Structure 1
Amino acid sequence: MRERFPAPGLGALTQRVLVGVSREITVLATTYRPGAPEFSREVAETILRRGGTVRVVLATDLLAVDAVSDHAGWLAARGAPPRTADRVPLHTLLIDDDLAVVTDPTGERFVREPARLDALHATAERLWARGVPLAHLPRSRPRTEQVLRLLAEGLTDEAVARRIGVSVRTVRNDIATTMTGMDAHSRFQAGVRAAQLGLI
């Protein structure tokens, strides 16, 4: 039985195309549209369950939208953490190697021409390679953000622990978790990424 993706506002052709995704979907997101396939958990879950790959590059300012931030965290929890980029040129959905859906103010355009597909894939690869891996810092853990802010102010682990009333070990665990989630190899790199994401 073939899966169906009920996505409000999508044309029947787009829905049929998404049902056929077999290997990979790459999203370059410049805007948020409720019900759009690039933000559909059902679409992503089905592709991941098939053993496919879901790659999402978000324009950094989209993280200010609660629904986008929640979706990013959901993807990260499933092993498909999105990346962010300051400038994403086109809102694009790349499906396997043979189709792209480009969305602009005039609507959705399907791209199948090999030369244009190659150009879109090259853009997606560049953005993915340069994108900042997104750590999901759940809203239920504001302490992590406090730790990041206090470290950015130059406080030691011990001073941070005293300030927020936890053990030094807890502070160090928060730092280690944050570094892992941000794919950072140093505290400095974690700080830079936290600043890029507006966390500090």
Structure 2
Amino acid sequence: MLGLDHWQETAYFALLDGPALGLDELVGRSGLEHDVLKGALTRLEDRGLISRLSGRPARWTALPPEHAIEVLLLARERDIRRVRALTQWLAEKHRKGRIGQDAAALIEVITGPEGVALCGQQLFNSAEREVRGIDAPPYAQAKDGSSVNSSANVASRGVRSRFIYGQDNLTLPGTIGRIEHDVSHGEEVRILPHAPMKIILSDDQAGLIPLVATPQVLDSCILVRPSALLDALSALFETLWQQAQQYVTGGVTDDGTADTDGTLTEDERRILSLLAVGLSDEAIARQLGIGLRTVQRRVQALLVRLGAGSRFQAGVLAAGRGWWRPPA
């Protein structure tokens, strides 16, 4: 609804048809966790949909929907105007970048799963300084079944590798294992709530993006050579990289060295890492191949050991003890 996520909608509807409620009452009515609910209430207040009443304990009430939603509509209209202005600016920049150049030399359409896989692998192999990308399914595979891979091709050559993953993709089977393998080979990984598109960038010389925005099968891509479009893709990646959360696979102290004092077991390190990027207990259980109740017991044990009242607080306290390093 007008840019609200699931948690904000749930909290708003819990307040819409009743009197002002306190936090504990809202938890019972909405079914949301305390930390999630607090964040949703803050964003609803910022959007002018609800109001926090004075007094203690704090209570919230829904504002008249006809006025609040009108404010949201006006904000959405301003966002649309800004996006249109940006689109016009990008189009003009792209047009000027192509003046006097052969368009066919700047953009090439790659078709067929084998062609896409080979092109992607060539981008990794040809990089001299850095490979960057946004990782999202589907994945290209060559005829022999091998997948396009980053870390195995760049680690031995001293090429920097940076990749962004969408949080929703972390629940796919095998994703966490692949990330941990790549990180162990020196790849830098960050997490966003949602990966907007799939990208591979090789230095500042080439980029590869799907021909279709949300492909079911990766059988066609656009190869982009140095141009205004490649500059825009590079700028998009860097903007998202700054916004994304760092993925940490194990305990790291403040000076960047591994925590080897036995404070955490390997399973506890992995659970803490997955908690930090927002995975649910069910998703953690699937990724680690252990039972849901086992995960729940270990999460609760971590909270108790840290003296934390929430998952977020657990991450803060663990960072303070040098058990892991939060994003810079």
- TM-score normalised by structure 1 residue count: 0.64
In the alignment, does 2:159 pair up with 1:55? no
Aligned equivalents of 2:234, 2:178: Cα separation in 1: 23
In the alignment, does 2:132 pair up with 1:19? no
Match of 1:10 in 2: 114
Match of 1:33 among 113, 122, 139: 139
Aligned equivalents of 2:136, 2:247: Cα separation in 1: 16
Match of 2:182 in 1: 75
- Give 1:111-190 correspondences, 5 Å limit: 111-136=224-249, 141-142=267-268, 144-145=271-272, 148-150=299-301, 152=303, 155=304, 157=306, 176-177=322-323, 179-180=324-325, 182-183=326-327
Q: Give the root-mean-square deviation of aligned CA atoms.
A: 3.6
Which amino acid letter does the alignment assign opposite residue 191 of structure 2? T
Q: For residues 140 and 65 of structure 1, do their structure 2 counterparts lie closer, same or farther at Cα, with a shift above 3 Å needed?
A: farther
Q: Deviations over 1:115-172 (max 9, x none)?
A: 10111001100111111111226x96147555654555xx45479xxxxxxxxxxx97
Which amino acid letter does the alignment assign opposite residue 179 of structure 2? A
Secondary structure of the corresponding residue to residue 141 of structure 1 = helix
Aligned residues: 159
Segments ≥4 residues shifted beyond 3 Å: 12-18, 142-152, 155-159
Aligned equivalents of 1:147, 1:128: Cα separation in 2: 31
Q: Deviations over 1:92-134 (max 9, x none)?
A: 1111101110023272111125110111001100111111111
Post-superposition shift, 1:47? 1.2
CA contact (8 A) 1:72 1:81 kept: no
Q: For residues 150 and 10 of structure 1, do their structure 2 counterparts lie closer, same or farther at Cα, with a shift above 3 Å needed?
A: same
Which amino acid letter does the alignment assign opposite residue 33 of structure 1? Y
Identity %: 21
Q: Which runs of 5+ in 2 are unaligned?
A: 1-112, 251-264, 273-296, 309-316
Q: Deviations over 1:62-105 (max 9, x none)?
A: 11113221111112222323101113222111111011100232
Post-superposition shift, 1:27? 1.2
Secondary structure of the corresponding residue to residue 33 of structure 1 = coil
Aligned equivalents of 2:318, 2:230: Cα separation in 1: 46
In the alignment, does 2:214 pair up with 1:107? no
Secondary structure of the corresponding residue to residue 152 of structure 2 = helix
